[in-house]
Amino acid sequence: MSAPPSEGRAVQVLGTRHSPGPDLPDHACDTHVHVFGPAHRHPYAADRGYLPPDALPADLRALHRHLGITRTVLVQPSPYGTDNTRLLDGLRTLGEAARGVAVIDPGAGSRELRAMDRAGVRGVRVNLGANTSNDLERARERIRATARTIAPFGWHLDLHLDAAALAAVDDLLPRLPVPVVLDHFAGIKPGAGTDDGTGSLARTCRLLETGRVWVKLSAPYRAAAGGSYDDLGPALAALLDTRADRALWGSDWPHTGGSPATRHPDRVEPFLPVDDGLSLTRLRAHLDASRLRHVLVDNPATLYGW
């Protein structure tokens, strides 16, 4: 087991206190992080929905060193649109220990994608948002087209969606020519029981059973009102009991804040003060050693190619 060098004390990263966290297996991986800025080198898209502070690869390294994490997956954040320059620069900085999930234009050419593949990109993200059911066929065609584009590279499709969007496309996902990863508990927002009244947990479990779909046990504060893995215990158990070999963990660092209703594209939106060490400790309490290794080491190594 690899313990954080700072065991026994908290550290500050980007102004947020992070507890030491639990002992982790060697080669533990954080499969969902973002890097931002500086804006003069990596400008944001003109149509961005929000403006984040800087969160640099050096900051990420400091946090992961503290937690005992040695592998990471950079996910393209929405303020950069389809300009993956910041992502690719981050992959070069972090080296072989990092992989990437890009966002691409529908007409991206094979030359561009081959260059991304050499840089460490292993997936493409599609953000379906909350209104998929209002334009179902467009969402389904976007998924199909993206899957066709990336299939020759052996990449996966990473979907950011809510429970309603998942219900609108779930029949399509196991039939795609690429694996599918569902971000942030697949949009599940359970209450006191094992589901949220929409059937989203049962739907996600059925998708996991196919072996073609994976789920990220990431950002519990986006899935549960209490903001903790302790609030997601029944859902967490159901997902792992279904396919522990199709579950991944991601911190969602640096924890972008706000909502579409409150964000402004020209006003810096502070990051949320999430203690990632404490979050990992709470997750660890729900996993035995075998499942901890599945989620943090073996499953990421399989999907991202370590």
> Is residue 80 within 8 Å of 86, Cβ to Cβ?
yes
Distant-in-sequence, close-in-space partners of 281: CB < 8 Å, separation ≥ 6: 19, 21, 22
How high is the pLDDT of residue 252? 97
pLDDT at 190: 67
Query: pLDDT digit string (tens) for 246-290?
Result: 999 999 999 998 777 888 899 999 999 999 999 999 999 999 999
The pLDDT score that the predictor gives to residue 134 is 58
Please compute the mean of the pLDDT values over residues 40-46 and round it to a whole number. 96
What architecture does CATH give domain 11-304?
Answer: Alpha-Beta Barrel (3.20)
Instruction: Identify the pLDDT of residue 259.
Output: 78
Residue 118 banded pLDDT, cuts 50, 70, 90: very high
pLDDT at 4: 52
pLDDT of residue 137: 84
pLDDT value at residue 195: 59
pLDDT greater than 90 at residue 227: no
**For position 1, what pLDDT does the model report?**
55
Model confidence at 192, pLDDT cuts 50, 70, 90, reads very low
In sequence order, what are the residues at sequence separation of 6 or more whose Cβ sits closer than 8 angstroms to the Cβ of residue 22?
280, 281, 284
**Mean pLDDT of the 174-202 span:** 82
Cα distance between residue 30 and residue 191, in whole Å: 26
State whether the Cα torsion 177-183-189-194 is positive or negative: positive
What pLDDT does residue 191 have? 57
pLDDT at 199: 83
